Chains A and B, each alone.
Chain A
Amino acid sequence: MKARGLLIFLMIFTLAFVFAGCKKKEPIPEPMPSQNPPVTMPPEPAPMNEQPTGGEPNTADIFEECTRQLQPVFFDYNKSDVREDQAAALQNNARVLKASQCGTVTVLIEGHCDERGTDEYNLALGERRADTAKDYLVNLGIPENRLSTLSYGESRPFAQGHDETAWQQNRRAHFVAVRK
């Protein structure tokens, strides 16, 4: 897993140079904190928007990679406060969003609920879960303008079952790195 991550990282890294060289119109990458080498920042936008050509490698998308590193946060039934055992996931997410690779991406925090209860209440509950996760990350130093929220209520379950095993998977805040 680590090796794959490194490989993807290197590919993006390489591409970053390629695109930095040929795409004059793109905005200049933001300056990085001085303790990091200045070259680790991939330019935006990521290569997914480019037309693939025969000669180019099949590359991973930086947003997909950041999304992969962001961990979901699970909630108790009908609750929106952060459980003690879920704090580590949020701390991980704050680290990911401060690290150089994902240091400028914006994140959509989706709030989800299990299938029990009404659509209407679950939309509000999902929003509260997303809000709680957002507040937690802001407290850990992530700028608010990099975080947005969206509640799906019970309409996008991750697990399809109708028991607690599925329900606990579905009561969550889900983090997606997005293009601003």
Chain B
Amino acid sequence: MKPVIRLFFIAVLLFPLMTQSQQTSVDIGDIIGGNFVPHPILIAKPYLESSDAGAAANELVSTLGADLDYSGLFEIVDSGPYPAFQGSVNLAPYKSSRAKYVVLLKVGATETQVSVEARFYDLQSESLIVGKVYKWDRKFTRQIAHRFGDEILYRLWGVKGIFTSKIAFSSDRTGSREIWLMDYDGYNQKQITVSKALNLSPDLSPDGKKVVYTTFRFSSEGSGQILVVYSIYDGRKYTFFSKGTLNSAPAWSPDGSRIAFTSNMNGNPEIYVANADGTGAKQLTFGRSIDTSPAWNPASGQIAFTSDKSGNPMIYIMNGDGTNERRLTFVGEYNESAAWSPSGSRLAYVSRSGANFDIFSIEMDTGVVKRLSQNERSNENPYWSPDSRHITFASNRTGKYQIWSMLYDATKLRQLTQDGNNTSPSWAAGE
């Protein structure tokens, strides 16, 4: 048995693996079903190839453990009672645990480099589900754990994990409102804009490589908000739209070719869709009401938006060409900030109830509404994770506005930012 496992392992390591680069809109919830019980998984204490690899190994284990736990798909089994990985595969010591899976890590590290052999086994069948070798700059140790976590989810369910995904947001921590980018777990926060103007409402392109946001232009020809597209990894920037004095609430289309946004270029705040280069703007809403905050349904191409045409802001839905408009929310006096899960099955939004603003989510098939926050001051700007399982949002429940994230059922709550006010999170695949 052992030589067979080893051979299989080598084969997996040597052959180029299928990567999960393809965007998927499959909802993992549909695959695992409603009565899913998280899989017990044991991350064995790593085998250290050198004595100074301990810190990197700890970072790997804690990062991967937090990832898998946060997914809501795994339950981390305490590795304390079980022996460390000895460098050559022997699953016997772990078979006595109640874990269904085990992760074995071999870690080597220098001051600048880290090398990892990571293996993920099904303990019952003793089969290697995935094995990967990583050699990277020491500072990317967390990224190695994230990547291997994504591999595990992909191998088990065929969906792309979110552990390498990124969240963009607007923060005033430097004294001016700038666009920032961070890992999905709040680590690695980086400032993107340095314009010292007001920079608001970032929206990441579906591939995570570009961000469109609202900024203010002051000029003698007229001051107002313009929409700017910035390529995060090559620094290129262009003005997407600047007609009128109000250009706001941008949202990339699911294929990244177009952007929906609000503009008053024809007098009243209305929703438009234009090509990503700013050409071909088409007006989708009409009338005297405020229409804003468009959100695409990646599955159907429909657009949800906010309109106060009933007297109060409410959520409406229309086709991507502006036809077939219908009202979605009727309860409360302030519903705003619609966000569609990538699978299209759920729509999250903000509703004011009493003095507070709370996050709600509608099952689109059944119309069942779930409340996801309660009595915790203002909770705004919900945005779904690329795997349709998590929601990030801004809340001032601890004082200032911070970015939070949670599972779709309001469990696994995490605070992701600490400094200044942080708002308008947008979540997309990583680099």
Contact = CB atoms under 8 A, between A and B. Distances in A.
A148 B177 CA distance: 24
Given A117-B357, A118-B350, A119-B200, A124 B262 contact: yes
Interface in A148-165: 148-153, 155
Contacts of B201: 119-120
B177 A123 contact: no
Nearest to B293: A120
B380 A124 contact: no
B222 interface: yes
B246 A118 contact: no
27 contacts: A78-B312, A78-B333, A108-B223, A117-B357, A117-B380, A118-B336, A118-B380, A119-B170, A120-B201, A120-B337, A120-B424, A121-B306, A121-B313, A121-B337, A123-B200, A123-B214, A123-B225, A123-B292, A124-B248, A124-B262, A124-B291, A128-B269, A128-B290, A131-B268, A148-B245, A150-B223, A155-B177
A119 B394 CA distance: 11
B336 A117 contact: yes
Contacts of A150: 216, 223-224, 245
Interface in B403-421: none
Secondary structure at the B interface, as helix, strand, loop or mixed, is strand
B381 interface: yes
Given A148-B245, A155-B198, A124 B223 contact: no
B313 A78 contact: yes
Contacts of B220: 179-180
Nearest to B218: A150
Interface string A107-119: 0100000001111
5 closest A-B pairs by beta carbon, nearest first, are A120-B249, A124-B269, A124-B292, A127-B246, A123-B248
A121 B306 CA distance: 8
Contacts of A120: 200-201, 248-249, 262, 292-293, 306, 336-337, 424
- Interface footprint category on B: 35 or more
Given A120-B201, A151-B246, 10 more contacts: A118-B380, A119-B424, A120-B200, A120-B248, A121-B292, A121-B306, A124-B291, A127-B245, A155-B198, A155-B200
B300 to A, nearest CB: 22
Interface of B: 170, 177, 198, 200-201, 214, 216, 220, 222-225, 245-246, 248-249, 262, 264, 268-269, 290-293, 306, 308, 312-313, 333-334, 336-337, 350, 352, 357, 378, 380-381, 423-424
Nearest to B288: A128
A120 B380 CA distance: 11
A63 to B, nearest CB: 14
B170 A121 contact: no
B328 to A, nearest CB: 16
Interface of A: 78, 108, 116-121, 123-125, 127-128, 131, 148-153, 155, 179-180
A163 to B, nearest CB: 10
B362 to A, nearest CB: 18
A117 B306 CA distance: 12
A165 to B, nearest CB: 14
Contacts of A180: 220
A153 B155 CA distance: 46
Contact of A151 (B225, B293, B424): B225
Contacts of B198: 152, 155
B245 A116 contact: no
A151 B380 CA distance: 20
